[in-house]
Amino acid sequence: MEAATTAAKVNPVIPKRKLHRDGIKLLLMVLPFILIAFAFSYVPLFGWIYAFYDYKPGIPLSKTEFIGFENFVEMFNDPSMGRVLINTISLSGLSILCSPIPLVLAIMVSEVKSGWFKRIVQTTSTLPNYISWIIVYSLAFSIFSTDGVLNQIVMKLGLSDTPINLLGNADRVWSFQTGLLIWKTVGWSAIIYLAAIVSIDGEQYDAAKVDGAGRFRSIWHITIPSIMPTFLVLLLLSISNLLSAGFEQYLVFNNMLVADRIEVIDLYVYRLGLITQDYSYSTAVGIFKTVISVVLLFTVNLFSRKVRGESIV
C-alpha cells in the first residue's frame, strides 16, 4: 500500500484540461510558421493554371485561349531542355558525390582536443554559409579572373605565360562551381553530423579504449556506424532534390562563355518567365520539375523503407 501511494505521488496523473491548454498554447506558437509556409509554398500553386493557357501579360485569364497540355508537349520537343537537364543532373550529381566531405570534417573536428582550435575551425568553416553569393562572386572575381590575384602570382612566378580564366572556362565550370559550393556549405552541413556525434554514448568509447582500440579504430567501429543513419537520410533527401541544383549561385556566375554549361532548370525557368516573358511555358517547366522531385522523394522514401526499415517522410 505504501509503495502504491509513493508511486502515485511520484507519477501524478496530469489532468486532461491541462493537457488541452498546453496543446492549444503549442498550436498558437506554431501557427505563424504554418501560415508562412502555406502562404509561400501552397498559395503560389494556384498559378499553375497559367501552364494550360496561352497567357499574355495584360490580358485577363478569362479572355485567354485555353491550350491544354500544349506547353508540356512543347517542353519535350524543346532542344534546350536536354542541355538544361544534363547541366542540372551533373551539377547535383557532383554535389551528391561530395556529400561525405561534411561528415569527414565533423569527425575531424570532434577528434580535436584543443577547445580554442576547435572553435576556430568551426567558425571559419561555417562563416561562408552566411555570405551571399554576390559577395562570393566578388571574391572569386578578384582571385580567379584574368587580372585576379591567382593569375598575378602564377605570371610572376613564371609558371604560365597566359592568364587562366576559371570564371569563363566551360570545360572546368562544373568542378569549379562544385568547389565553391562545398567551400560555402561544408561547415554548415558538418553541424548536423557534429550533433549526431555528440549524442553518441561515451561509454562505448571507454569500452573500446579498455579493449585496446585506438583512435582510428574507435572512429571506424563506433563513430561512423553511429552517424551513418543521419548520413543516409541526408543523402536520400539530396537525391530527391536532384533537379534543385540551385539558382543564386549560377545566376551570379553566369556569363556568355559558360552560359550553355551552367544553365540549370531554375535558371532556365527564370530566363523564360522574367526575361522572355513566356509565363505559360516557364510555368509548365516548373510543374515538370516539381512533379519529378515529388516522384523522386517518394521513390527514395520507399527505398529507405525497404532497405533500412525506416522511412524519411
Give the pLDDT of residue 1: 45
Confidence band, pLDDT 50/70/90 cuts, at residue 7? very low
Whether 250 has a pLDDT exceeding 70, the answer reads: yes
Neighbouring CB atoms inside 10 A of 271's CB total: 18
Share of the chain above pLDDT 90, in %: 39
pLDDT at 4: 46
d(CA 8, CA 4): 6
Q: From CA 51, how far away is CA 279, in angstroms rounded?
A: 8
Structure-block grid coordinates of residue 122: 568551426
- The backbone torsions φ and ψ at residue 73, rounded to the nearest 5 degrees and listed phi first, read -65, -40
**pTM of the complete model:** 0.83
SS3 letters across the chain = CHHHHHHHHHCCCCCHHHHHHHHHHHHHHHHHHHHHHHHHHHHHHHHHHHHHECCCCCCCHHHCCECCCHHHHHHHHCHHHHHHHHHHHHHHHHHHHCCHHHHHHHHHHHHCCCHHHHHHHHHHHHHHHHCCHHHHHHHHHHHHCCCCHHHHHHHHCCCCCCCCCHHHCCCCHHHHHHHHHHHHHHHHHHHHHHHHHHCCCHHHHHHHHHCCCCHHHHHHHHHHHHHHHHHHHHHHHHHHCCCCCCCHHHHHCCCCCCHHHHCCHHHHHHHHHHHCCCHHHHHHHHHHHHHHHHHHHHHHHHHHHHHCCCCCC
pLDDT level of residue 2 (50, 70, 90 thresholds): very low
More confident residue, 21 or 287: 287
> What is the reported pLDDT for 15?
66
pLDDT above 70 coverage of the chain, percent? 93
Mean pLDDT, rounded, for 232-256: 88
Contact present, 251 and 267 (Cβ < 8 Å): yes
- Tell me what pLDDT residue 313 has: 67
What mean pLDDT comes out for the span 107-131?
89
> What are the tens digits of pLDDT across the range 285-299?
999 999 998 898 888
**Lowest mean pLDDT segment, chosen from 69-78, 84-93, 132-141, 201-210:** 201-210
Higher pLDDT, 5 or 230: 230
Q: What is the mean pLDDT of residues 91-117?
A: 90
What mean pLDDT value characterizes the chain? Answer: 87
Model confidence over 207-227: pLDDT tens digits?
Answer: 888 888 888 888 888 899 899
